[in-house]
Amino acid sequence: MIDSSDSKQKQEAQAELIRARAEMLCDAVSRRYTDSIGDLCVRILAGYDLDVIKEAFNKAELVFDRFTEFNKLREYCETIAGIRRGADRHVDEDCSLCRGTGWKLMRRSDDTGDMAISCECRKRKMA
């Protein structure tokens, strides 16, 4: 019995977090928040880990505009969750270029800073 009530509380807490982040996203893109948007986001994102959901909202705040559909959040979660599932399996922990992350820094061609690119150790292991 205790497990089901804990699970229900976790689901309710997750739903509240999703609604709050959806409202913040609406504010960021000058869109009016409604309860139906919050409910849609809860349905779309149910079942994902909280850290994946938070990352998806962070990305959405950078790329969304007023007219972007909230279903894009599911795509972001799938991408983030997929990267996390596969990232551990394809890297060399002893690589001196990426230090086991699978990503190395490279200078941008326009000299505006660095960018992360897939490391050779990751490419070798995937092939």
Same domain, 79 and 108: no
Give, for all 127 residues of the chain, the pLDDT tens digit: 456 778 888 889 999 999 999 999 999 888 999 999 999 999 999 888 888 899 999 988 888 888 888 888 888 888 887 766 555 456 677 788 877 777 788 888 888 888 888 888 766 655 4
Residues 64 and 72 sit within 8 Å (Cβ to Cβ): yes
Measured in degrees and rounded to the nearest 5, phi and psi for residue 22 equal: -65, -40
Same domain, 124 and 105: yes
Measured in degrees and rounded to the nearest 5, phi and psi for residue 54 equal: -60, -45
Same domain, 77 and 119: no
pTM of the model: 0.60
Same domain, 21 and 47: yes
Same domain, 41 and 11: yes
Same domain, 30 and 82: yes
User: Rounded to an integer, what is the distance from CA 8 to the centroid of its chain?
Assistant: 23
Same domain, 74 and 117: no
For the chain, what is the domain count?
A: 2
- Residue 65 lies in domain: 2-86
Same domain, 109 and 78: no
Please report how many Cα atoms fall inside a 13 Å half-sphere around the Cα of residue 53, on the Cβ side. Answer: 20
Same domain, 69 and 119: no
